[in-house]
């Protein structure tokens, strides 16, 4: 899903660029307000993590696609930046465990070896836990050293992110008779449907480093593996186009 959305985004940008080049002699290129933002980061579990939640560094990553509309505050170097978009988050479990519903009827989940969860697939190649959110940043304030020239300005910002979960699933890849098989399980998995995070960026021009800490635990109370609470931290790079 990450690749499909990113490919569509690139195609749209290329198409818009080509169209603008072909028509620039007839009409002036429109100056669209705001900025499109692409963020790529790596996720790390924080706090109390469940037993057997062993995540890989490269496979546990996030892709964010945002649109921001900065509003200058009183001709100062500060701006208010309401932002919205998509956050596509995944965790790779290196021990090939996967989430499975507890059989006690409480709606809680546990971590089990993926090969043991389905005896028809004895060999496991990769196990992923994926969460996709609609994201909003209703309270981000940014400081620019050169607000009149964003491409050369050093900027720092901080704010609050709100995420609404619209999809969560596990994905396990197997090899059977030299053929790759993918098993996908879409259900709630005990994940909180609403989350809040503290967010910050530091950069120059269109390039930034960003980080955010999800204050809301991933799992609902008494629904996650081992009934533990687990927060997450994401750090990465951010590219924006004005």
Q: Residue 184 pLDDT more than 50?
A: yes
Residues 50 and 14 both lie in one domain: no
Q: What pLDDT score does 132 carry?
A: 97
Instruction: Find all residues with CB under 8 Å of 92, minimum gap 6, and list them.
Output: 55, 56, 58, 59, 60, 126, 127, 128
Q: What pLDDT score does 20 carry?
A: 47
Q: Residue 58 pLDDT more than 90?
A: no
Residues 145 and 167 both lie in one domain: yes
Q: What pLDDT score does 120 carry?
A: 52
**14: confidence class by pLDDT, cuts 50, 70, 90:** low
Per-residue pLDDT, averaged over 56-82, amounts to 93
**44: confidence class by pLDDT, cuts 50, 70, 90:** very high
Instruction: List the structure tokens of 93.
Output: 């479990």
Higher pLDDT: 114 or 66? It is 66
Per-residue pLDDT, averaged over 3-21, amounts to 49
Three-state SS sequence of the chain: CHHHHHHHHHHHHHHHHHHHHHHCCCCCCCCCCCEEEEEEEEEEEECCCCCCCCECCCCCEEEEEEEECCEECCCCCEEECCEEEEEEEEEEECCCEEEEECCCCCCCEEEEEHHHHCCCCCCEEEEEEEEEEEEEEEEEEEEECCCCCHHHCEEEEEEEEEEEEEEEEEEEEEEECCEEEEEEEECCCCECCEEEEEEEEEEECCEEEEEEEECCCCECCCCCHHHCCCEEEEEEEEEEEC
Instruction: List the structure tokens of 232.
Output: 């997450």
Q: What pLDDT score does 28 carry?
A: 46
Residues 27 and 124 both lie in one domain: no
**24: confidence class by pLDDT, cuts 50, 70, 90:** very low
Higher pLDDT: 28 or 66? It is 66
pLDDT tens string 97-145: 999 888 877 888 999 888 755 545 556 788 999 999 999 998 899 999 9
Higher pLDDT: 199 or 178? It is 199
Q: Residue 235 pLDDT more than 80?
A: yes
Q: What pLDDT score does 29 carry?
A: 42
Instruction: List the structure tokens of 42.
Output: 């790596």
Contact 129, 72 (CB under 8 A): no
Q: Residue 157 pLDDT more than 90?
A: yes
**10: confidence class by pLDDT, cuts 50, 70, 90:** low
**47: confidence class by pLDDT, cuts 50, 70, 90:** confident
Residues 90 and 171 both lie in one domain: yes
Residues 38 and 24 both lie in one domain: no
* CA separation for the pair 121, 174 (Å, rounded): 7
Domain that includes residue 10, residue range: 1-31
Residues 107 and 138 both lie in one domain: yes
R_g of the chain computed on alpha carbons = 21
Structurally, how many domains does the chain consist of?
2
Contact 190, 107 (CB under 8 A): yes
Residue 76: count of CB within 10 angstroms of its CB: 10
Instruction: List the structure tokens of 37.
Output: 């933002």
Q: Residue 54 pLDDT more than 60?
A: yes
pLDDT tens string 186-197: 999 999 999 999
Residues 108 and 86 both lie in one domain: yes
Residues 41 and 16 both lie in one domain: no
Q: What are phi and psi of 187, to 5 degrees?
A: -165, 180
pLDDT tens string 169-180: 999 988 777 778
pTM of the model: 0.81
Residues 12 and 48 both lie in one domain: no
Residues 44 and 144 both lie in one domain: yes
Residues 45 and 8 both lie in one domain: no
Q: What pLDDT score does 96 carry?
A: 87
Residues 7 and 41 both lie in one domain: no
């Amino acid at each position: 899903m990450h690749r499909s959305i990113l490919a569509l985004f690139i195609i749209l940008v290329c198409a818009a660029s080509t169209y603008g080049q072909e028509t620039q002699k007839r009409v002036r290129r429109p100056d669209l307000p705001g900025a499109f933002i692409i963020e790529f980061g790596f996720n790390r579990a924080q706090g109390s993590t469940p037993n057997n939640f062993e995540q890989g560094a490269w496979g546990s990553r996030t892709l964010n696609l945002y649109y921001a509309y900065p509003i200058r505050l009183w001709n100062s170097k500060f701006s208010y930046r309401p932002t919205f978009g998509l956050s596509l988050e995944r965790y790779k479990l290196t021990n090939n465990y996967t989430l499975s519903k507890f059989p006690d009827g409480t709606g809680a989940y546990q971590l089990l070896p993926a090969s043991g969860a389905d005896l028809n697939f004895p060999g496991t190649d990769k196990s992923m836990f994926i969460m996709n959110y609609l994201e909003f940043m209703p309270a981000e304030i940014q400081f620019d050293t050169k607000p009149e020239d964003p491409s050369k300005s050093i900027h720092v910002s901080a704010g609050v992110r709100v995420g609404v979960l619209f999809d969560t699933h596990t994905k396990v890849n197997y090899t059977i008779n030299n053929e790759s098989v993918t098993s996908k399980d879409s259900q709630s998995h005990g994940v909180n449907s609403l989350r809040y995070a503290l967010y910050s960026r530091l950069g120059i021009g269109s390039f930034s480093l960003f980080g955010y800490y999800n204050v809301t635990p991933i799992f609902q109370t008494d629904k996650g593996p081992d009934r533990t609470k687990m927060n997450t931290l994401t750090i990465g790079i951010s590219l924006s186009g004005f």
